[in-house]
Amino acid sequence: MPAPSWEKDPVLSVEHVTMRFGGLVAVNDLSFAAGRGDITALIGPNGAGKTTVFNCITGFYKPTQGMLRLQHGDGSTHLLERMADFKISATAKVARTFQNIRLFSGMTVLENLLVAQHNPLMIASGMTVLGLIGFPAYKKAEKRSIEKAKYWLDKINLTDRADDPAGDLPYGAQRRLEIARAMCTSPELLCLDEPAAGLNPRESGELNQLLLDIRKTEGTSLLLIEHDMSVVMEISDHVVVLEYGIKISDGTPAEVKADPRVIAAYLGVDDDEVAEVEEALDVVVEEARQ
Amino acid sequence: MSTSAPARPFEPDFAAAAKDAVLSGVIALGIFGPLVGLRTTQNMSNQLIVESHWGLVAIIVGIVAVGRFVLRAFVFPRMAMWKAQPKVESTAEPSFLRRNIKTIGLVFLLFYPVIIVSMLGYQQSIKWVDNFGIQILIYVMLGWGLNIVVGLAGLLDLGYVAFYAVGAYSYALLATHFGLSFWILLPLAGILAAMWGIILGFPVLRLRGDYLAIVTLAFGEIIRLVLINWRELTNGSAGISSIPKVDLFGWITFNVADPNYVGKVFGLANSSAYYKIFLYYLILALALLTAFVTIRLRRMPIGRAWEALREDEVACRSLGINTTNTKLTAFAIGAMFGGFAGSFFAARQGFVSPESFVFLESAVIVAIVVLGGMGSMIGVAIAAVAMIGGTEILRELSFLKVVFGSDFNPDLFRMLIFGLAMVTIMVWKPRGFVGQREPTAFLTERKAVSGSLVQEGHG
Ligand SMILES: Nc1ncnc2c1ncn2[C@@H]1O[C@H](COP(=O)(O)OP(=O)(O)OP(=O)(O)O)[C@@H](O)[C@H]1O
Ligand SMILES: [Mg+2]
């Protein structure tokens, strides 16, 4: 069997990552790769350790063991487990959203998108000093950042609400805004923690279009945690399945869907029953071969 | 927003009110009956006897019951009606006063000494320019400085007075020992205070919320104790006196003996009022500088990062913002303005001692910022006028002696009235005088953000 495409040019390689909280092993010796330009889905039952993996990738937790390597398109490599969380966003260019939305609710939609462009604006303002005395270069940079914000507002259909406080938006719009805010940092890898949670089917469909569009026009690689299997199957190129912090399956959506261990994990079948299912499948496979 | 209840016509529910009144009457009787109604005293032969004051109890119970009736029947329904229709209020065109409050305030401040002098003459003007004008403006400036830390960045700093002290002692020491001019020492005091802001900031900024508040409080006290105990440098609690006056860049001075004394230059009679008026304009300029810088900073990435930090620190870090540096800059810039104000304070008093930098000062400045609300500059200014002007006005309450008898000392009630006023204001306007946040950028229309959405910050 040839190596899968994501092994050839990975944007993110997770190597033997373990995360312990006291006695609890939330992630256990996890290794997987996310391909450049791919939409990689991380799935698993509640408490499987998906958010913990995200927190390790984005530096909010330091993994107890293991390596997280991020490779940019230009070949530069960043070892994420050694970097401070804000550096991971600023220099390794990994952006994320949160399972429970974290917008700046008292700031307007536009301001949320401007805060996301903090670092380039900070440089343009000469670390504030030049901007304070009215340097024209900063004015231009600010105009550009507003243009960028407008571009994203257009994509998420929120242009007409740009001047409203983010906390006033309906839930679905807040989810989209959080994605746009993450995209305003111009990330190489965008990590989305359950972006479709709480969305109705129409919104969920729009979200799929948005994510596909982000990949196509921005070339950003996506890593997403998702419970909604229809979303996963529809848009992802590669699925990694976790259960109790252990990777139980890794492959294309079709492969994973057919994996008896995944079926068992999702249907809550006992371990010996898994063996039975596997045997049954083996028989089917044998028969097909003959 | 959510569906507001249809505005019901105003109709008092007398039955419920009467029931409520009887109930509160009974409770009041239960409480005040034993407390007020029965009193033990000694009679002439030193025996313990019980006196009864049922008349007084009846009066109290009556007041409680009637008061409750009025509240329940008339006041509460009105309040509910007001609450049900806040939208109507906000869509209405703001009044002329409200729209132009900044310009009106600024013009008034610029002409304030002129108005006072023309009304009362030079000698009489001193009290109004000094006790009211300068005093209030110092606190406006301190409030605006602390507003950067508390109002914008959401870091509760209870030791702000420490930076005020650093500024004051920097000027006092460097001016008395080295004879340096105010105009050199002013920026230097600011820099020194900012440096102390960073020194304090480094270890404490990883703390959050209550812990940060306690450590900053302790820092304020440490600075004060150092000032008291480091006698060789600071002269201990006796303080430093004969701090030189400010002059106008050496061209004009305010010492009667100097050849270029302001009176001699302009051919005016000697008066200490000139110096006060000069100081007034100086502190006005400093306060406006603070305002100008803060307003500009708010529209810059650093200012937005401060506010974002107040809203959600984790999200800030996920967007690549170095939160430690961001907090440090807030601390340092806030401290710098405190240092400016401190050196002005030293120059104005001509005397500094650790007495001036007690915790109460920090508390008053924090109170001004909290009362102002939402990191709003105007709110802070109003709060400073209300709090400092209010306490100064309370000094003028000698007329109350006519009411309460000649041994009534209004000064004793100053803090009481002050405290009551604060509680009232916080109940009436829980998010401070200005319950809205002005956005720093807009695409089509600048809409104020309602206070209920704005976070207060947790560290
Ligand atoms: N900071 C922490 N301290 C202690 N235990 C933690 C911490 N964070 C996560 N855990 C534990 O790690 C396990 C995995 O949690 P995690 O949030 O990663 O699950 P998840 O896969 O994201 O689940 P869900 O689908 O419910 O979001 C859980 O048992 C959780 O209680
Ligand atoms: Mg999770």
Residue B102 CB neighbour total at 10 angstroms: 12
| Residue B109 CB coordination number (10 Å) | 19
Give CA–CA dist B453/B1, Å, rounded: 12
* % residues pLDDT > 70 (chain A): 88
The pLDDT tens digits of the residues spanning B232-259 come to 888 887 788 877 777 777 667 776 666 6
Whether the pLDDT of residue B414 is over 70: the answer is no
Which pLDDT belongs to residue B153? Answer: 87
The per-residue pLDDT for B94 is 59
pLDDT band for B120, please (50, 70, 90 cuts).
confident
pLDDT in tens, B148-190: 998 888 888 888 999 999 999 999 888 888 878 888 889 999 9
Q: Decide if pLDDT at A169 tops 50.
A: yes
A47 lines ligand 1 (CB under 6 A): yes
Q: Does A175 touch chain B (CB under 8 A)?
A: no
Q: Which domains does chain A have, with CATH numbers?
A: 1-93+186-253 (3.40.50.300), 107-184 (no CATH), 259-290 (no CATH)
Q: What is the pLDDT of residues B430-453, one digit of tens each?
A: 777 777 778 887 777 777 777 777
Which residue in B has a C-alpha nearest to residue A92's C-alpha?
Answer: B320
Residue A31 Cβ < 6 Å to ligand 1:
no
Instruction: Report yes or no: B87 at the A interface, CB cutoff 8 Å.
Output: no
How far separated are the first and last CA of chain A, in Å rounded? 21
pLDDT tens-digit series, residues A177-200: 999 999 999 899 999 998 888 888
**pTM of this structure:** 0.80
Chain A within 8 Å of B206 (Cβ-Cβ)? no
- At residue B32, φ and ψ (nearest 5 deg) are -85, -20
Q: How far apart are CA A223 and CA B374, in angstroms?
A: 38
Mean pLDDT of B69-77: 82
**Is the CB of residue A100 below 6 angstroms from any atom belonging to ligand 1?**
no
Residue carrying structure tokens 């701090």? B243
Confidence of residue B372 (pLDDT cuts 50, 70, 90): confident
The alpha carbon of residue B443 is apart from the nearest alpha carbon of chain A, in Å, by 7
B1 touches A at CB < 8 Å: yes
> What is the pLDDT averaged over residues B39-44?
78
Q: Which of residues 400-439 of B touch A (CB under 8 A)?
A: 437, 439
B114-394 — its CATH code?
A: 1.10.3470
Decide if pLDDT at A42 tops 60.
yes
- Measuring CA to CA, how many Å separate B223 from each of A286, B216, B330? 83, 11, 20
Q: Report the pLDDT value the prediction gives residue A116, as an integer from 0 to 100.
A: 92
Q: What is the pLDDT of residue B304?
A: 92
CA distance A216 to A218: 6
End-to-end CA distance of chain B: 30
- CA–centroid distance, residue B417 to ligand 2 (Å): 52
Say yes or no to pLDDT of B4 above 50. no
Beta strands in B43-86 (DSSP E): 48-52
pLDDT of residue B146: 92
pLDDT band at A284 (very low <50, low <70, confident <90, very high): low
Name the pLDDT band for A168 (thresholds 50, 70, 90): confident
Q: How far apart are CA B192 and CA B182, in angstroms?
A: 14
B255-306 residue pLDDT tens? 666 666 666 666 666 667 778 888 888 899 999 999 999 988 888 899 999 9
- From the list A62, A63, A57, A58, the residue with the least C-alpha distance to A27 is A63
Residue B141 is predicted with a pLDDT of 92
- The answer, yes or no, to whether residue B89 has pLDDT greater than 50, is no
pLDDT reported for residue B432 = 73
- Report the pLDDT averaged over residues B25-46: 82
pLDDT at A178: 93
Higher local confidence (pLDDT), B187 or B209: B187
| pLDDT higher than 60, residue B357 | yes
ipTM: 0.85
Q: How far apart are CA B199 and CA B206, in angstroms?
A: 13
Strands (E) across B53-164 are located at none
Burial B53-85 (b: 16+ CB within 10 A, else e): eeeebeebbeebbeebbebbbeeebeeeeeeee
Q: What is the mean pLDDT of residues B75-102?
A: 66
More confident residue, A265 or B222: B222
Which ligand has its closest atom nearest to the C-alpha of A98?
Answer: 2
Contact A122 B302 (CB under 8 A): yes
Distances (CA, A) of B174 to B98, B192, B225, B247, B356: 44, 12, 20, 16, 19
Q: Considering only residues B119 and B18, tell me which one the structure prediction assigns the higher pLDDT.
A: B18
DSSP assignment of B94-105: PPHHHHTHHHHH
Confirm if B78 and B9 have CB atoms less than 8 A apart: no
Q: Is the pLDDT of residue B8 over 60?
A: no
CB A34 within 8 A of CB A189: yes
